[in-house]
Amino acid sequence: MQRNATTQHPILLVHGLFGFASIGKLELFHGVKQALRNAGTQVFIPYLSATHCNEVRGEQLLAQIDLVLTRTGASKVNLIGHSQGALAARYAAAKAPQNVASVTSVSGPNHGSELADCLRKALTPGHLPEQVAVAVSTLFVEFLSFISGSPKIPQNAVAALNALTTEGVGAFNAKYPQGLPSTWGGNGEEQVNGVRYYSWSGTLQGSLLDEGLHTLDPLHGFCRGFSRFFTRETEQNDGMVGRFSSHLGTVLRSDYPMDHLDAINQTAGLVRKDIDPIELFVRHAERLKSVGL
């Protein structure tokens, strides 16, 4: 049966760290854009710096929101940000609430990432390990830009890492607290300055042996490995972001059985039987439609 998720305002899918719109037939939000369009939604994917701080990426997003509003004649947009994309979306909504109808965080590090904390400690500023990491990440980003045909825009791997640590996001939150919970693990205000805030995320569950074919997914293997660096949210994380760190606004659910990249359907073709990431996006578009957004 044909779904009806014709939102009043266009949806922008905002990518996170090392993100891109598409490389050939590979889309970062794999299958999500097409599913939303099939359900009647206008969808755009803005291109932001693959590595940079939240404020720089947020300013880039604001400029592209203006382009979408001009192109479509819409008065506002709905922002759905994955990972660091959630922070760029929050920045845009805080700076220009008149242009944003809603912000939805999907596995966003809204209170920082313990993985980023560990990387920051391991990479001593100005020393060889950090310099090597910066060089490698820069080459990787340049390669992504080349094969995806994306425009060249500023990149800064160190700024990106600092922006994702608990300390870095804490400083960001002090300036842009809209939608944040007042208590750890709770819900935030659903509506601030006319902008509605939502979030959802997942956690790694069981052991690798419980995953079936998902065990063969290399991306899932990386997330399982990264999860060992979490101490505050041990066994309550998706490999890159802690469950309660992801909370923003109305928390739809924060323990879906999925890792950080499952959330955007990046599963190397090995989709779990008990979760459909695309369905979560379509269902949310229907939710936004139901409240007039």
User: In this structure, what is the dihedral angle of CA atoms 230, 80, 180, 246, given to the nearest 10 degrees?
Assistant: -10
Query: Would residue 238 show up in a list of annotated catalytic residues for this protein?
Result: yes
- Which run of H or of E encompasses 91? helix 84-95
Query: What pLDDT, on a 0 to 100 scale, did the predictor assign at position 139?
Result: 45
Query: What pLDDT, on a 0 to 100 scale, did the predictor assign at position 146?
Result: 44
pLDDT tens per residue across span 126-141 = 544 555 444 444 544 4
Query: What pLDDT, on a 0 to 100 scale, did the predictor assign at position 220?
Result: 76
Q: How far is CA 71 from the centre of its chain?
A: 24
Q: Which of 25-39, 136-150, 160-174, 217-231 has the lowest mean pLDDT?
A: 136-150
Query: What pLDDT, on a 0 to 100 scale, did the predictor assign at position 123?
Result: 62
Q: How far apart are CA 151 and CA 78, in angstroms?
A: 24
Over range 250-265, report the average pLDDT.
92
What residue spans define the domains of the chain? 11-290
Residues near 22 by beta carbon (within 8 Å), at least 6 away in sequence: 28, 45, 148
Angle between helices 84-95 and 157-164 (to 10 degrees): 80
Catalytic residue among 83, 105, 113, 201: 83
Query: What pLDDT, on a 0 to 100 scale, did the predictor assign at position 67?
Result: 96
Higher-pLDDT residue of 148, 3:
3
* Percent residues over pLDDT 90 in the chain: 56
Higher-pLDDT residue of 209, 4:
4
Q: How far apart are CA 173 and CA 30, in angstroms?
A: 30
Tokens linked to 144:
């992504």
Please say if the pLDDT value at position 18 is more than 80.
no
Q: Which of 158-172, 241-255, 279-293 has the lowest mean pLDDT?
A: 158-172
Catalytic residue among 238, 246, 259, 284: 238
Tokens linked to 27:
């889309």
Catalytic residue among 30, 247, 260, 284: 260
pLDDT tens per residue across span 24-60 = 566 678 889 999 999 999 999 998 988 889 999 999 9
Q: Which of 18-27, 30-39, 185-194 has the lowest mean pLDDT?
A: 18-27
Over range 227-253, report the average pLDDT.
93
Topology given in CATH for the domain delimited by 11-290: Rossmann fold (3.40.50)
Burial call 35-51: b when 16+ CB within 10 Å, e when fewer = bbeebebbbbbbbbbbb
Residues near 146 by beta carbon (within 8 Å), at least 6 away in sequence: none
Residue 213 confidence class, pLDDT cut points 50, 70, 90: low
Please say if the pLDDT value at position 147 is more than 60.
no
Please say if the pLDDT value at position 73 is more than 70.
yes
Residue 101 confidence class, pLDDT cut points 50, 70, 90: very high
